[in-house]
Amino acid sequence: MMAIGSPSRSDDALGPLLAGRLAPDLPEWVELLVDFQLQVEHALVLERAGLALFIDAQVGLTDTFLPVVSD
C-alpha cells in the first residue's frame, strides 16, 4: 500500500490519513509506504506489486463519480 500526500496541506492529506487508519488492520504481507510525493522510483515498488489501487481526493469536485470495473 502506497500512501502519497502531505498532511500539512489540507487538500493533499488523504493518502497518509487513510494509511494511518488502515495500518493497524493490514495483514503482514501488505507493505506500507508513505511519502509526500509520487516519484519515478515508486514505479519499482509498483512493478513488484500484485495489485495497485489509486485513491485521490479533490475539494469542490463537480464531475460525476464513475466506478471502474475490471474485465
Q: For residue 21, what pLDDT is reported?
A: 94
Q: For residue 5, what pLDDT is reported?
A: 86
- The whole-number average pLDDT for the span 12-27 is 89
Look at residue 24 and tell me whether its pLDDT is greater than 90: yes
Instruction: Decide which of 2 and 70 is more confident.
Output: 2
Instruction: Decide which of 44 and 69 is more confident.
Output: 44
Compute the C-alpha angle 54/57/59, nearest 5°.
165
- The residue ranges of every structural domain in the chain are 2-47
Contacts of 1 (CB under 8 A, 6+ apart): 19, 22, 26, 30, 31, 32, 33
- The whole-number average pLDDT for the span 30-56 is 86
Contact predicate 46/34, CB 8 Å: no
- The whole-number average pLDDT for the span 57-62 is 73
